[in-house]
Amino acid sequence: AQKITQTQPGMFVQEKEAVTLDCTYDTSDQSYGLFWYKQPSSGEMIFLIYQGSYDEQNATEGRYSLNFQKARKSANLVISASQLGDSAMYFCAMREGYSSNTGKLIFGQGTTLQVKP
């Protein structure tokens, strides 16, 4: 069964420093997609970054980058130059592969990030 594991319930980072949020996944599909979402205290889910299993380059979006290590089945999110507004819960999610084109996402438990001034 497909599964996403986020082992860090909570993280602290100093403002302007970089932080890495861990995500490991388990799937038997060859084709899959990995997503990161941010959830502020207001509750909405904000899409940050996407990595496809066949993408050769690590995805980047502004201050967000994804450290994709396929052999280790990890897809860690790196946030550079942390800002106070980055304080939120972060979720890693995986989309099922081509065997089932439902678009369903499987979510990890999340990591709460707090940025200190």
Partner 1 sequence: DGGITQSPKYLFRKEGQNVTLSCEQNLNHDAMYWYRQDPGQGLRLIYYSQIVNDFQKGDIAEGYSVSREKKESFPLTVTSAQKNPTAFYLCASTEDSFRWNEQFFGPGTRLTVL
The footprint of partner 1 (CB under 8 A) covers 4, 9, 33, 35, 37, 42-47, 50, 52, 91, 93, 95, 101-105, 107-110
By C-beta, is 75 or 95 nearer to partner 1?
95
Min separation Cβ 115 and partner 1, Å: 19
- Shortest separation between residue 90's beta carbon and partner 1, angstroms: 11
Per the CB < 8 A criterion, the answer to whether 80 and 16 are in contact is no
User: Residues 6 or more apart from 35 whose CB is under 8 A from it?
Assistant: 47, 48, 49, 50, 92, 93, 94, 95, 105
CB of 82 to partner 1, least distance (A): 22
Q: Which residues pair with 4 in a beta bridge?
A: 25
Quick one: tokens of 112? 């709460």
* β 64-69/88-95 pair status: unpaired
In the complex with partner 1, the residue whose CB is nearer, 74 or 97, is 97
CB of 69 to partner 1, least distance (A): 20
